[in-house]
Structure 1
Amino acid sequence: MLKNLTKLGVPIGIVLIVVMLVVPLPSAVLDMLIALNITGALLVLLTAMFVTRPLEFSAFPAVLLVMTLFRLTLNVSATRLVLLDGYAGKVIDTFGHFVVGGSLIVGLIIFVILLIIQFVVITKGAERVAEVGARFTLDAMPGKQMAIDADLNSGLIDEATARKRRQEVHAEADFYGAMDGASKFVKGDAIAAIIITVVNLIGGMGVGLLQHGMAPGEAVTTYSLLSVGDGLVSQIPALLLSVATGLVVTRSAGDEDMGSDILKQLGARRMPLQIAGFGALALCLIPGLPKIPFLIAGGAMLLFSMRVPSQAEAAEAEAAAAEVAAEATSTSDHPERLAAEIQVDPLGLELAPDIIDLVDAGHGGDLLQRVRSLRRKVASELGVVVPPVRTRDNLELPAHTYAIKLFDVEVARGEAPPGCVLAIGEFLGSLPGTPTQEPVFGLEAKWVPQTLRAQAELSGATVVERSSVITTHLSAVVTQYASRLLGREDVRMLTDVVKRTHPNVVDELTPAQLSLGEVQRVLQSLLDEGIGIRDLVRIYEALSLRAQTTKDLDALVESARAALGPAVVAPHVVDGTVHVITFDPQFEQRMLEGLRPTDQGPMIVLDPMSAHHLIGGLANLVVEAENANLTPVLVCAPQLRAAVRRMVRPAVERLPVLAYPELTGAAQIRSVGVVDGHAQVGAGA
């Protein structure tokens, strides 16, 4: 019941304020409402003084609007009584006579001084501070959101904590944006006060002279003092709210409805309520002021303050938190804490400060979402769970630059200029922009302004967004270094997943025949050659059979490749055809005879000239095939495959090496060329 009243209290109050604009109020009721207005403004000021963070008073913009509307409504009601009856209640009459000494000149001077203080000093300053605070808060949002997403991606916080922190960031931005607008209400209220006072002066004298038949001197004295008294009564709470506005903006919306936020936050602390209550009671000491309205207002404040829970528990909690913080500080050099701080992130993405907009979802930045999608894509293609990508800004990076790090060592770098898109093609000379190369495939490209995107597409270029460029580059790096990213704990986790559905396969393999480290080396070797390890069941079955006779790494890898079968050659099949490079049979026999075991695995012993012609011939055939838009593979005998891969990889890294039995998954095989130890023998169609 109380909660429903809390929700309905403020909406009903706002409706009554609007009704007051058209319904005449008795002077006694007006006195009560004026006392409530002054006391409420004092409470808002004290609450603003006691908050430590603006978000603790997130309802302040709404309070400011409601209080301003309430005060203007009282001005309208007072004006109606002044013009109709020549009397607007005891409070206004007292302010018009006692506060200003019954002198029109003194009243006008005090009123003008209050206006100058409020309009020129406080209101103008609060408006400027609110405007600057809103701009700075919005500018800082991308960095704050990037820090939250980086902590989430790195596993430092969970999704619930990240969601809460994002809400706080957005609430802070909403608060300062609302304050920027609310400060305009304060400025408009000051202007309205001047206009209303002038209208009261002129209108009152006109009514006194024309309708009530007063003498000119009597009309001027009566209505001028009433008008000035009304202006002073309205300007005092307006001045308090202006000060409160300045306090709040120099030091965001809540989770509940506006009424609950306002009433809960105004009554959250006992001290402001008590001070406001005693302040209202102290006003009763002024001679001539009506005692009952201020006694009621002050007594209500004091009574309500007694219902506010004691702050003792909060003080105890703060003391306990301070003690815990002190203890944490004293143990900040504990070995475990230091060990946690020096942990190296497996995968990191660093951005120059001018491109952090890529991670700001509020401005269309979707880089972090693309990175999360990339992790799912790599997991579905390679079977590797990529560790979280730690994304952060780096002030040392050149403008427009991003860097990809592997175990805190930079392995790749690129550019993503703000406001540009990457146009990839051969005919880009007519487009303005900065020439560059596509970071993954080395294609000719140019960074062109976003506004010329349509023109670039019409010229035949492929246009790529900045986020896509970075994500593609990151994907290539992850694929290239997938074997290094596969750690021992990752292998254990993947093995546990297999064990849930195929427990016998895992129990037969490890630790009975192979240790987890040996299994890791096999999986890393497969990833090293671009072979996915999603089908762990068949890989483990093959390893358990081969491990019964040997634990040689190359032999285990070959058995795993054989078990995968068509999956090995599938990535190289285009339109049902695989294009192959082979060795001359006689030269292949020579290589078989030259095969020698070593500590690093089997090696092929060749004379320097034959090795030179072999590497040169392979490189030429690969270039010719790529110029014809073909992706060839080198095929050899199964006994040679590992040794050949080890020999050609340093010179032709992008050339896959397959064994003859692994071609069973290809519907059609076309020869690209044959290589021997003397020269390139020929090329086939």
Structure 2
Amino acid sequence: MALNDTLNLRQLLTPANLRQLAAPILIIMILSMMVLPLPVFLLDVFFTFNIAVSVMVMLVAMYSRKPLDFSVFPTVLLVTTLLRLSLNVASTRIVLLEGHGGPDAAGKVIEAFGNFLVGGNTAVGIVVFVILTVINFVVITKGAGRIAEVSARFTLDAMPGKQMAIDADLNAGLIDEKEAKRRRKEIAQESDFYGAMDGASKFVRGDAVAGIIILVINIIGGLFVGVMQHDMAVGDAAHTYTLLTIGDGLVAQIPALIISVAAGLVVSRVGDEGDIGGLVIGQLFANPAVMTLTAIIIGVLGLIPGMPNLVFLLLAAVLGGLAWIRHKQMQEAEAEAAAPAAAKQAEAPRADAQEASWNDVSQVDVLGLEVGYRLIPMVDKGQDGELLKRIRGLRKKFAQEVGFLSSPVHIRDNLELKPNAYRIALKGVEVGSGEAYPGQLMAINPGHVSGPLQGRETTDPAFGLPAFWIDTGMREQAHALGYTVVDASTVVATHLNHVILNHAAELLGRQETQALLDHVGKDSPKLIEDLVPKLLPIGTVQRVLQNLLEEGVNIRDMRSIIEVLAEHAPRTQDPVQLTVKVREALGRAIIQGLFPGNADVNVMALEPGLERILMQAMSAGGEGGAIEPGLADTLLRQTAQIAQRQEDIGLPPVLLVPSQLRMLLSRFLRRAVPSLKVISNSEVPESRTIRVTAMIGAQQG
């Protein structure tokens, strides 16, 4: 029995359990001080502990890199406020009971604050106490409370916009699902933190009011106790109890002031991650010109007769010295940055000293990005350009979702472009362009914002949505109005991702096809050997894969694609016919991509009469059968109208047709309605229910 008790005690006293018990024990002790009498020595210990805790809280607030690093601060604010009030109650009890015994009756800490800090002068003590209370209550606490209130409101209003920005980064491949969850959790924590700080600031305000009331009560109560119960003279009683009360008030008010400063430091942080000391030094003393001008102004003031010349001139000399040191540091940094470039230029041979060679014949890049000179820092490896990281993420996400590794993006500067312009080229031909402004943000209107913004009006280059280029300081305002806010590198990366997805078929060249087959051959070597080149040349396989990519079908399931090609290659070498067979085999995945889950397949269909006419045109003209011009115009117009109605009600624009018409209508309608997907009856799995929501006919009633 004793052994079991010992084991249970050891389990209870583990570090983890002790850490969990610390907070409840502290709260119970604090509440106990309000009702139980404390010895004078123990009161001194708790007063000293209160001062130490307040200093620790302020230092943690200063060294925190962002507000959420000190997310427990609202709780700490409540506990420290409760501790001070409990000490006030305990000290009031001792002052009134033992105050007649002299200035040290309530402990050495109160005596020190009452005698040393204010020189034993009750009038000075009262004035100092009132000033500290006013500073704490009127200036620091009120300002910090207002900042917390506004921050809470704007943080809550900005949550939808921030969530949309995270979704945009996730869809663009800039972050993965794990990072998206972390950011969403951080946004929720930030909202909770500022909301808690808005309420917790009321604790400090109430503490300041309570300090004044306790001061008045103690002075009046001390006079009554000293005169009526201990037969002290009125003057002696007033002096003794007032001095003790002042010491008691100051020993509580100074930690309160420190905690209020810590609260102000936490809620007044803006943007940058870093400790406050480093940010202040880095931003306030970063510009040598500012320090030089300040030194000149202070020096001129120091030369005026009657001014404290020594102090002013000494400070001017210090500022001038700091400016000179900072200027030298900046020159050395510039020299170090320029040295590698100069060395590289010196090593480069002169162009006019060499004969022409095959090295002068440059190949056209499959995928290129050209930038104006102001965008160079975004793509400079030496400056750790953010856009480079995003492009690497785009290629990885493209490979995972589409099924092959695209050519690298070759980036170069182009002085012929505007300073903030960029151009995306595919095999030397421009396929996209736009402008980006480093240091600014693009606020994109997703269609349901609550107001305009002050900024440069523009259009999102990827999707054509209306947008504004705004300053970074307007981020929270834009989020609150419902805009999706992204930085300049994200704008370019999203546009590039959009272009790559739309031109995936053109990016799949012979080399990429061979690399893809080699990659599949590592796991299924026999499958590849039986197909290429025994049954099909690699060019035919490439054309089939391109046909799939042109219609937005990914080629991740290469095993199924190769098996279908190997099965039907002995009977036909036509890429179009082979594509039809592959699409039928991939039908489940195609339909799943358009209609996730087991929901009904809501499609548009052709009116039977129109379907017969198109089938006759196909039989008369073969695979490339022509459609009568008037009928073609009506078909295009009606399809566009009905597809738009489908999108308006939240359904994907999908047209279901017989397999003989699918390829013809897909190519014919794709240019007029880019978002339209054309599927055949044979591609829909038997387990899925088809529901026709709209009918396309030659005539509309």
Matching residue of 2:47: 34
Matching residue of 1:22: 35
The one-letter amino acid paired with 2:45 is M
Matching residue of 1:156: 174
Instruction: Report matched runs for 1:453-532 at 5 Å.
Output: 488=508, 507-510=529-532, 512-514=534-536, 518-519=540-541, 521-523=543-545, 525=547
Unpaired segments ≥5 residues, structure 2? 1-13, 100-104, 270-274, 276-335, 341-375, 407-439, 451-459, 468-483, 485-496, 593-599, 647-653, 687-694
TM-superposed CA distance for 1:162, in Å, is: 3.7
CA distance in 2, matches of 1:634, 1:518: 26
C-alpha distance after superposition, 1:295-345 (max 9, x if no partner): xxxxxxxxxxxxxxxxxxxxxxxxxxxx99x99999934799799469499
Bigger shift: 331-340 or 37-46? 331-340
1:577–1:538 CA distance, 2 compared to 1 (3 A): farther
TM-superposed CA distance for 1:129, in Å, is: 2.6
Query: Is the Cα contact below 8 Å between 2:143 and 2:264 reproduced in 1?
Result: yes
CA distance in 1, matches of 2:639, 2:117: 98
CA distance in 1, matches of 2:588, 2:187: 51
Instruction: Report matched runs for 1:96-115 at 5 Å.
Output: 96-115=114-133
CA distance in 1, matches of 2:546, 2:220: 91
TM-superposed CA distance for 1:560, in Å, is: 5.0
CA distance in 2, matches of 1:656, 1:158: 31
The one-letter amino acid paired with 1:202 is I
Query: Is the Cα contact below 8 Å between 1:54 and 1:249 reproduced in 2?
Result: yes
CA distance in 2, matches of 1:165, 1:496: 39
Matching residue of 1:238: 256
TM-superposed CA distance for 1:10, in Å, is: 3.6
Query: Is the Cα contact below 8 Å between 1:58 and 1:175 reproduced in 2?
Result: yes
Matching residue of 1:259: none
1:345–1:485 CA distance, 2 compared to 1 (3 A): farther
CA distance in 2, matches of 1:483, 1:329: 28
1:581–1:633 CA distance, 2 compared to 1 (3 A): farther
Matching residue of 2:478: none
CA distance in 2, matches of 1:150, 1:173: 21
The one-letter amino acid paired with 1:553 is P
Bigger shift: 335-344 or 59-68? 335-344
The one-letter amino acid paired with 1:108 is I
C-alpha distance after superposition, 1:485-505 (max 9, x if no partner): 567499899989998998765
1:161–1:36 CA distance, 2 compared to 1 (3 A): same
The one-letter amino acid paired with 1:190 is A
Unpaired segments ≥5 residues, structure 1? 252-264, 266-322, 348-371, 403-407, 416-466, 468-477, 596-601, 666-672
CA distance in 2, matches of 1:147, 1:620: 36
TM-score by length of 2: 0.52
Matching residue of 2:306: none
The one-letter amino acid paired with 2:575 is L
CA distance in 2, matches of 1:335, 1:96: 58
The one-letter amino acid paired with 2:75 is A
TM-superposed CA distance for 1:561, in Å, is: 6.9
CA distance in 2, matches of 1:329, 1:623: 43
CA distance in 2, matches of 1:556, 1:534: 17
CA distance in 2, matches of 1:12, 1:184: 25
SS, match of residue 62 in structure 2 = helix
CA distance in 1, matches of 2:604, 2:447: 43
1:569–1:80 CA distance, 2 compared to 1 (3 A): closer
CA distance in 1, matches of 2:551, 2:172: 28
1:105–1:497 CA distance, 2 compared to 1 (3 A): same
Q: 2:70 aligns with which of 33, 44, 57?
A: 57
TM-superposed CA distance for 1:532, in Å, is: 10
SS, match of residue 395 in structure 1 = strand
CA distance in 2, matches of 1:585, 1:235: 89
1:229–1:242 CA distance, 2 compared to 1 (3 A): same
CA distance in 2, matches of 1:76, 1:335: 60
TM-superposed CA distance for 1:136, in Å, is: 4.0
CA distance in 1, matches of 2:642, 2:200: 68
1:530–1:485 CA distance, 2 compared to 1 (3 A): closer
Compute the RMSD of aligned alpha carbons: 6.1
Q: 2:443 aligns with which of 395, 398, 407?
A: 395
TM-superposed CA distance for 1:123, in Å, is: 1.9
TM-superposed CA distance for 1:510, in Å, is: 4.0
Matching residue of 1:332: 380
Aligned pairs, number: 479
1:250–1:493 CA distance, 2 compared to 1 (3 A): farther
1:547 equivalenced with 2:558 (yes/no): no
CA distance in 1, matches of 2:25, 2:78: 15
The one-letter amino acid paired with 2:380 is S
SS, match of residue 43 in structure 1 = helix
Q: 2:91 aligns with which of 65, 68, 78?
A: 78
CA distance in 1, matches of 2:45, 2:590: 87
Query: Is the Cα contact below 8 Å between 1:578 and 1:632 reproduced in 2?
Result: no
TM-score by length of 1: 0.53
